[in-house]
Structure 1
């Protein structure tokens, strides 16, 4: 079974540029130990007026690998249980309390945190404007308009706690900020404070999630179209048809034709080898892709940055693939 998500391939035709392939793949959790704790309860965060805890819980619900939920997120009656036990953040460091709460919740790990700061500061100033005093705007009048610069900052600490051992699997402080500027003659004004902090908290969740969870990544790969060897008319037709099938996302037929092209040139066509590697990578067949990228590198007349990048990338993908398999297959 292919544990790594099969990549989704789509072709973009960019005006005056080479075809590029958009590939979607899955990266393993950065913190390997986090993969051993798939039953998770997200506790209510301290000072959480922006629902950071709920956002993380929702994000964990959505994580899927091989079209199956990756986490079991426990939320039913969790707050009632915690209140009854008078369980507080400081108690997480106590193994006895952690084991007790873990048994009550049925969780292997707890995610908790605190909003350290959610601040907005406004600065007021004036900008010069000019208005015409006649039809031809020969005479002008200067005037001032009041403007506002609003700065927003959000700081949060997020931790993942091992319930049984009572120690910290992962913890980090996160900081996001942004600013908006408006003037009285702009119209519309500043965005609502809640909308801005909603966006900042979403950014923090996106930064936090890859540390404890598999996440999706997307990247583009260039397709080669112009060979460095002379083709026969038949080979030119094969190439044209192969690229056309690839454009229409008909991968099996494109793979068949590029294989035919490579064979017909006695394995001398780096273009066919490289494009076959792209197709294999898009299907999650990383070892085959690596062989084809290496073959393309040997066949080309001089070093090509695209091929070298592909060789480096596929080595990373193989490593990620193996690590993700290990994380998925860890017994709960």
Structure 2
């Protein structure tokens, strides 16, 4: 009885290890922008921000101007020179663009559809230090360390925080499209790893705020890994068919999805469409190539062929439906005028 239990536990451990080492495919999927209304407000102006001593508005402007999707620019940014010219003519300060009515007036004069304004609510960085006791072995013997050196080191610490209030004004209506407060923090300890200076820390935090904000405004690709099934479940499969399947997995690992797709399609035909493993892997290859509707059909076929639930197939079915919905929403945003 004890031996059987031991064998069972060993088999379970081996199965767990094998599942953890399953071959995985990196999938690229299109996600829509969180702020969907910006799809029809692609000509934007970014004002100078209030209390902005760390260049946050410039960083946001730069990231928005650089952002491309499928090699095409998503936004058109009104030049800061043109914005400043209008501001000077209207005898306005950048801080006055925090007012929706003023932002709308200026936005119309420069032909923008949306104006991004904001302020640095807080930006602090403080340093401190403490002393840490340490020891070092100066002489080792078979029994262990025979002589120690005791010494003290001074450790430096830094705590930094930046908080920014950001708004997007719809120039046409004068209403707020989106408002957000983004907080970022940094802490460092020189006795644990190299730390940033105060200026470097604040610069990194404003970079992070700009990246997070712009990420919400634009459709973008996300990446995730999907585990494959690596053994055909049919008892009637031949050695030649197993070899074809193994070779297709090798092509997948090499990133040759086109070759793997062709082999898997032929293998599925040979097996009269009866292998859920082949159908599932075929679906993953199609998903990796962006053929989401075809992948969904393969996942449905694989699910129909299973006698009991298969976790990888269950995950694929729920994932592919979400991916299709998100892709369609993102495409609408990208094609909106």
Tell me the TM-score normalized by structure 1: 0.85
Residue 45 of structure 1 corresponds to which residue in structure 2?
49
TM-align CA RMSD: 2.6
8 A Cα contact 1:209 1:215, kept in partner: no
Counterpart CA distance in 2 for 1:81 and 1:238 is 67
Larger radius of gyration: 2
Counterpart CA distance in 1 for 2:255 and 2:148 is 60
Shift of 1:162: 0.8
1:75 pairs with one of 57, 75, 79: 79
Give the match's secondary structure for 2:115: strand
Is 1:235 the equivalent of 2:237? no
2:62 pairs with one of 22, 45, 58: 58
Residue 222 of structure 1 corresponds to which residue in structure 2?
227
The number of aligned residues is 314
Give the match's secondary structure for 1:268: coil
In structure 2, do the counterparts of structure 1 residues 301 and 227 end up closer, same or farther at CA, with 3 Å as the change threshold? farther
Counterpart CA distance in 1 for 2:198 and 2:51 is 16
Residue 208 of structure 1 corresponds to which residue in structure 2?
213
Write the deviation string for residues 142-184 of structure 1: whole angstroms up to 9, x where unpaired.
Answer: 443332221111111111111121111111111111211125x
Is 1:145 the equivalent of 2:148? no
2:184 pairs with one of 172, 176, 192: 176
Shift of 1:124: 2.5
Counterpart CA distance in 1 for 2:194 and 2:326 is 46
Gapped runs of 5+ residues in structure 2?
1-17
Shift of 1:64: 2.1
In structure 2, do the counterparts of structure 1 residues 209 and 304 end up closer, same or farther at CA, with 3 Å as the change threshold? farther
Equivalent residue runs for 1:122-161 within 5 Å: 122-130=127-135, 138=146, 140=148, 142-161=150-169
8 A Cα contact 2:165 2:179, kept in partner: yes
Write the deviation string for residues 238-273 of structure 1: whole angstroms up to 9, x where unpaired.
Answer: 212322322332222211111111122121111211
8 A Cα contact 1:274 1:293, kept in partner: yes
Shift of 1:138: 4.0
Equivalent residue runs for 1:1-332 within 5 Å: 17-77=21-81, 78-85=83-90, 86=92, 88-90=94-96, 93-95=99-101, 97-130=102-135, 138=146, 140=148, 142-183=150-191, 190-230=195-235, 231-331=237-337
8 A Cα contact 2:279 2:298, kept in partner: yes
Counterpart CA distance in 2 for 1:134 and 1:243 is 54
Counterpart CA distance in 2 for 1:229 and 1:203 is 51
Shift of 1:313: 1.4
| Between 305-314 and 239-248, the greater mean CA deviation after superposition | 239-248
Shift of 1:130: 3.2
Counterpart CA distance in 2 for 1:194 and 1:91 is 27
8 A Cα contact 2:104 2:115, kept in partner: no
8 A Cα contact 1:63 1:214, kept in partner: no
Counterpart CA distance in 1 for 2:282 and 2:149 is 67
**Greater helix fraction, Structure 1 or Structure 2:** 2
In structure 2, do the counterparts of structure 1 residues 150 and 160 end up closer, same or farther at CA, with 3 Å as the change threshold? same
Shift of 1:197: 2.0
Tell me the TM-score normalized by structure 2: 0.84
In structure 2, do the counterparts of structure 1 residues 88 and 199 end up closer, same or farther at CA, with 3 Å as the change threshold? closer
Counterpart CA distance in 1 for 2:40 and 2:166 is 18
In structure 2, do the counterparts of structure 1 residues 196 and 145 end up closer, same or farther at CA, with 3 Å as the change threshold? same
